[in-house]
């Protein structure tokens, strides 16, 4: 799998977390990985599991930062696709030294365009621009 494909799977799990309690997510991840059309290699599955779990563990912290910077928006009002893309990108920007900030932002915009509405990419870009402006 490419890095983009791995990130897309992580995004889908972060998206799924918007509909499930935190304690349900290990089972949700297991079910997700079991039902992939093209099964992930062991190291890919472990990467997806590790990174999605790391994002889940910091959702409260990520949401706090998003709510502080997103003018006229709160995480409760945001679309789930856009919020999930922003959460993943912000996690990568703040906590994943292997992912350059520009890559995290570009990938989040592309994911939002693929899964969201017409203006999702612009919205994600705008919120992330405010978050990295510090």
Task: Give the model confidence (pLDDT) of 73-84 as tens digits.
Answer: 999 999 999 999
| Per-residue pLDDT, 38 | 84
Quick one: CATH architecture of 3-132? Orthogonal Bundle (1.10)
Task: List the domain boundaries for the chain.
Answer: 3-132
Q: Give 103's pLDDT tier (boundaries 50, 70, 90).
A: very high
pTM: 0.93
Give dist(CA 51, CA 129) in Å, integer. Answer: 23
Average pLDDT value over all residues in the chain? 93
Least confident range from 39-43, 75-79, 98-102: namely 39-43
| Per-residue pLDDT, 134 | 59
Q: Is the pLDDT of residue 36 over 90?
A: no
DSSP secondary structure of the chain: --HHHHHHHHHHHHHHHTTS-GGGHHHHHHHHHHT-SSPPPHHHHHHHHHHHHHHHHTHHHHHHHHHHHSTT--TTTS-HHHHHHHHHHHHHHHH-TTS-HHHHHHHHHHHHHHHS-TTHHHHHHHHHHHHH--
| Per-residue pLDDT, 40 | 82
* Spatial CA neighbour of 14 closest among 75, 64, 87, 76: 87
Question: Do residues 126 and 67 make contact, with C-beta atoms less than 8 angstroms apart?
Answer: no
Q: Give 72's pLDDT tier (boundaries 50, 70, 90).
A: confident
Mean pLDDT, range 1-6, rounded to an integer: 92
């Amino acid at each position: 799998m490419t890095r983009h494909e791995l990130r897309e799977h992580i995004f889908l799990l972060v998206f799924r977390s918007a509909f499930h309690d935190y304690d349900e997510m290990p089972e949700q991840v297991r079910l997700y990985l079991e039902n992939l059309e093209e099964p992930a290699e062991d190291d890919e599955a472990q990467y997806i599991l590790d990174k999605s779990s790391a994002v889940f563990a910091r959702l409260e912290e990520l949401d706090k930062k998003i709510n502080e910077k997103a003018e006229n928006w709160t995480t409760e009002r945001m679309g789930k696709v856009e919020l999930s893309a922003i959460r993943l990108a912000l996690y990568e920007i703040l906590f994943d030294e292997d992912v350059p900030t520009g890559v995290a932002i570009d990938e989040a915009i592309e994911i939002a365009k693929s899964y969201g509405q017409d203006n999702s990419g612009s919205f994600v870009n705008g919120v992330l621009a405010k978050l990295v402006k510090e």
